[in-house]
Structure 1
Amino acid sequence: MIDIKKFSETDLYGLLGVEIGASEAEVRKAYRKKALQCHPDKNPDNPKAAELFQELSKALEILLDVSARAAYDKLLNAKKAAQLRAQQLDSKRQKLKNELEERERLAREAATSRGTSYKVNKTPEELFKEEFERLQKEGSKLIEEEQELLRQQLREEKSLHARSESSWDASKHRIKIKWKADKDDSTNGGYTEDILHKFLSKYGDINVLVMSPKKNGSALVEFKTQEAAEMAVSYEKGRLDNACSLEWIGDAPKNKKSRTGGTVTERDFESLVLRQLRQAEERKRLIEQMMREDAEAESATG
């Protein structure tokens, strides 16, 4: 059951991130952007995302319907005017005002129960409630169309993601991580494999992450997808008290057209056994590579 009171007290324009005078096109655009981010298909384990998606859809339904939006705007303006008046009234006058409004409400309810008319115009709350209930009964083809467009875009994103994964060779685009750490620092500058994994995994799946076995302040990481790797290089700074830097080993990958949706959320369906075997092999290769690089660096400085 949808709570009418909740939506009568919610700033629907603020929820979508548009101005009160926003056009229909602007409202639709804002809805699509936010709805894609919290769509249940992208956040299957987050009930709050599903709840927000429903709220966004109901806000769109109200703001796209001319009479419902007019009733909502009237309610919004009435609330703002009431807040302004309340600020100007002292506590005694405010009490009298509240008592008068309560008497009027009781009189309307009594007249309604007797089947008689009451010569007081409907309040903004009542008008909005009527429009809200009308929309619930009628349903909205516009919302159905918008949600179908969202589903199509999600399908296209998944298809594009699958194609990009098949052409992405992670072994050719590894990333070196560096941070400050003294040679004899037992804490390695505050970094461990678990800490680095926590920082980096929010961008997407990691194929392998290896700490340098000989040198403090150094590690290598390989991401499953190009998007995750690029985001990590662009945004990750590590610890606040000891920032780290990420740079490509060799040439950076060629840029590809970005997709709507931000952080990678799709999961690879490769079997766990095959993944573990591959990670073990990659870890061995990376350790050998790091040892060669560390040896070359020591020879150059020595």
Structure 2
Amino acid sequence: MGDSTRVGEVRRQASEMSRRLGFDAVQAGRLALAVNELGNNLLRHAQRGRLLLAASEVADSVAIELLSMDDGPGMADLQACLQDGYSTAGSAGQGLGAVRRLADDFDIYTRPGSGSLILARFYRERDINGGARRPAHGFAIGAVCVPAPGEHVSGDGWDVALHDRRADVMMADGLGHGPDAAHAAVAALQAFDQQRGGNPRHHVEQAHAALRGTRGAAVGVARIDAGTNRICFAGAGNIIGRVISGLADRTLISQSGTAGLQVRTVQEQDLEWPDHALVILHSDGIQSRWNLDDASVLQRDPALIAAFVLWRFCRGRDDATVVVIRRAEV
């Protein structure tokens, strides 16, 4: 985070985001307090801390997420750190306990000696009692998307379309990074949005046509069907997919090529979606060989799982995106 001015910068961005997305004053205030608590927590306790802020809209449900990431020292006693009044820095110690109360969804992962990940999510839609109205579409979806060092926009992008018991997910990675790469990724996602309902092969072909005249992009599309428990995947370029559970680890294979430049006849891969399995897509800003070496990570919120993959396996020299999908808890 650097210094306290960076916390104020994130707070101003959060305020503008909540205003633009139509959050009420109560939720906007909770979000601002959580930014302060998590940001100051990084300044006081953490090494190489980062605070990520993002908005998502899935099935007409809008949420703003805060993700705190750091490289140490981690929390030796997590439950103690979540108690009000606990502090190792001579402060009031209200931070993590307060954030857990303020947020609609809260999750935390910590590894002593390595660092911590903290997720706080705030929903715009409220029920009659003022509680969060979460989307009910059968899938839990989380993602992180960060630009390459020194860039202000990411050349990666992702989108999801929900149809009854099916989720279609696209990821696009514009060639290189910066504004021209972002332009290519946006063109691919716009083609996906305009042709919702097509199969993965069709979406890759449509992206290839839409990206002519751009620098091109790697594109991957997965159809995840909770009705048939099957996954269908097609891709061109270096979008990588994995299907992971405690018992299985299968790879979703993209063929060589670059949408907008050169793509061979698109092939689809079809495989089973086991119970409790995660579907994870990522761009090549993430190392191709990675593992969830702590089994407890599998049970976390999908956004925290995505952050874990970024935290442990980001190459650090390119845009990086991770999307995680699982069946929603009933």
Same fold? TM cut 0.5? no
Q: TM-score, normalised by structure 2?
A: 0.23
For the pair shown, the structure with the greater C-alpha radius of gyration is 1
